[in-house]
Structure 1
């Protein structure tokens, strides 16, 4: 073996097994809008000013040129640049809870299938993802919904593409 061969990282190796993520459609109920955005359809003019100021480069656009968050490109740091740049009445004040999102881990998760992987837990800035070992050598991925901010760091880090993030569905009471 040559001494100058490049060593492949665990993330690079596991990324080979990742499937291509689904793209966003024009449907408004299943896309994630920028943090603190409200009623995009009524207030957004589609000017596109929010995307260039995003330091993470995660803002893309739907078919109506309305902003959509693409967590496959990285995580949201909640810097508020998109909200501060917008001249329209699209964003609430960038304080408080930025959005209500559901995080789910699919059955193809490497850790849940007995393959050592801690990628999502390692990158979570809030330590909202735990992967405690279980009897039999398999681990279980546990998302602490109270600690999770919905930043999306886990989604882009997952080599199995097992994490999905979606807008929280309203639950009926009673």
Structure 2
């Protein structure tokens, strides 16, 4: 399930996908209010995966590389837009343009997934289909950076609430 921002809704952008903000970003509406677009987090990122997006607000460019979740961007943020107590709710999914989904042998994303979240399941006819285990996927972007056709996208999931027995 994808969560949309209140700002997008009020601007009539009902189908606008949420932006992949830096690790530690607070809720979208609060982030837009707190972030000054100073670029400190972008400059501080040792992985160089942060870019300046709409209105200068930082976004992760998953095609640029994997996030190591090191927290340097959080330390560089003086406004409170990035904090170390925010859950990372992004998970990888394969788009229909995935080579394996189109009968072309490719397992590059699996080779670049350090967490073993991507496996390929052989289907009738000899084609293998990607299967991404959302429990293992950290949403780091390593698979997206490696994909030769840019077929990996990220969706924001709803956090699961713990229930008490």
Using structure 2 for the length normalisation, give the TM-score.
0.78
Q: Mean alpha-carbon deviation: is it higher for 109-118 or for 74-83?
A: 109-118
Aligned pair 1:166/2:145, yes or no? Answer: no
Separation in 2 of the partners of 1:93 and 1:170?
Answer: 16
Q: Which residue of 2 aligns with 1:151?
A: 140
Question: Which residue is equivalent to 2:112?
Answer: 123
- The one of 75, 81, 86 equivalent to 1:84 is 75
- Give, in whole Å, the separation in 1 of the partners of 2:101 and 2:84: 39
**Larger relative helix fraction:** 2
Q: Indicate the SS of the match to 1:50.
A: helix
Superposition pairs for residues 18-97 of structure 1, below 5 Å? Answer: 29-38=17-26, 39-93=30-84, 97=87
Structure 1 residue 103: deviation in Å? 2.4
Conserved? CA contact 1:31–1:166, under 8 Å? no
SS at match of 2:101: helix
Count of residues in Structure 1 that have an aligned counterpart in Structure 2:
144
Structure with the larger strand share: 2
Query: Which of these two proteins has the greater Rg computed from alpha carbons?
Result: 1
CA contact (8 A) 1:155 1:164 kept: yes
Q: CA offset at residue 61 of structure 1?
A: 1.2
Q: Which runs of 4+ in 1 moved over 3 A?
A: 168-171
| Structure 2: gaps (5+ residues) | 1-7, 9-15, 161-165
Q: CA deviation at 1:121?
A: 0.4
CA–CA distance in structure 1, aligned partners of residues 47 and 155 of structure 2: 19
Cα deviation for residue 70 of structure 1 reads: 0.6
Secondary structure of the residue aligned to 1:131 is strand
Q: Is the 8 A contact 2:20 2:59 kept in 1?
A: yes
CA RMSD of superposed structures (Å): 2.3
Q: TM-score, normalised by structure 1?
A: 0.74
